[in-house]
Amino acid sequence: MPLNWIHHSIASIDKVAQKNAETRQAILTKPAGSLGLLENLAIQFSAWQGVEKPELKQIHISIFAADHGVADEGVSAFPQIVTGEMVKNFIAGGAAISVLAKHNQAKLEIIDVGVKNLPKLNNVIRARAGNSTQNIAQMNAMNEAQLQQALQAGKEAAERANACHAQLFIGGEMGIANTTSATAIACELLDIPDTTILTGAGTGLDKTGIKHKSNVISSILRRYKKELNKQNNLTSQQKSDPLTLLLIMGGFEIAALVAAFIRCPQQGIPVLVDGFITTVAALVAININKDVKQWMLFSHCSAESGHKKILSALEVKALIALQLRLGEASGAAIVIPLIKQALALHNNMATFAEAEVSNS
């Protein structure tokens, strides 16, 4: 599989700029550390941008949409047709992310990576890996060619962001039943055999629906083990290979997010991770190339039950927790003003010397 680019080195963090930003924070007119994580945000952006006073003006949001064959198992409260309907809503400006992107003056693009029977639409980038994945409870999600196409779609989105001089990349997703795929991937990567630990309501399942979904995910994991056992050439180390995971039980949009989350740090673009699905994609990306983590921020802890556990496993803290569970990058977009305010405080507060205020 010609995917050598995935393992290319990640852009370096500017340690001098980071140190200068830390020094500036220490002399601003406030008790040290009193602005909490806002201080850390400003310092991170300084290190990423290589300047003492960073800015956030160019924001690139890519929403990857694709359908999942596992929807046939009844794991979603919404029918599969909603994926395509929501794509149309995105471009019409009626979706949450459409409103938030406009409000934040962010560039928004919608990528069809495999929405079932979706015709060509104006303002939708067509990068289809297929017409929906297969039902992963019964067969592999995709073949190698399809995986490469989905990864390429994410890589190209990151490169478009770079061409637009993006200072922040946000990846979002739309795909009915994609929490099932994401949960199965996370259970395998984190070695959590009890699927009830990470299985949540997704689009709004009741307790009976969640139990059924958990059982389906358990069956997916059993099938995954059987599939690997058939391939006698795989070593024990390769059995947890994240690309194999994506091929067997991923979604096209999840694979695209993984690629974008790797390619952006290679180009020196920080990534703001959205909710449950995108955090699983970040988990996969980190398992492929661990250095990408230093270019990631995690926007919020969603209401999806397994999200907090995955964030904990990654040893990261989300910036906010508002019980969000919409997806489509909405949670990440909500955090944009918070980041801008953190940078404004860092850049514009007076130092003790400037304000002639005693600091000892």
Which are the catalytic amino acids?
A: 328
**Rounded CA gap, 179 and 276, in Å?**
8
Catalogue the E-assigned strands of 34-162: 59-66, 107-114, 124-126
Question: Regarding beta strands 296-298 and 107-114, do their DSSP bridges make them parallel or antiparallel, or are they unpaired?
Answer: unpaired
CB 10 within 8 A of CB 295: yes
**Rounded CA gap, 303 and 359, in Å?**
42
What's the half-sphere exposure (Cβ side, CA atoms, 13 Å) at 272? Answer: 29
Query: In 3-state terms, what secondary structure has residue 103?
Result: helix
What is the torsional sign of CA 191, 287, 205, 252? negative
**Rounded CA gap, 180 and 78, in Å?**
13
> Which tokens in the block code for residue 329?
């990058």
What secondary structure letter does DSSP report for 290? G
Where helices occur in 164-206 by DSSP H, the ranges are 178-189
What's the half-sphere exposure (Cβ side, CA atoms, 13 Å) at 298? Answer: 26
Residues 6+ apart with CB under 8 A from 154: 62, 64, 171, 255, 256, 257, 258, 259, 260, 261, 263
Cβ atoms < 10 Å from Cβ of 340: 16
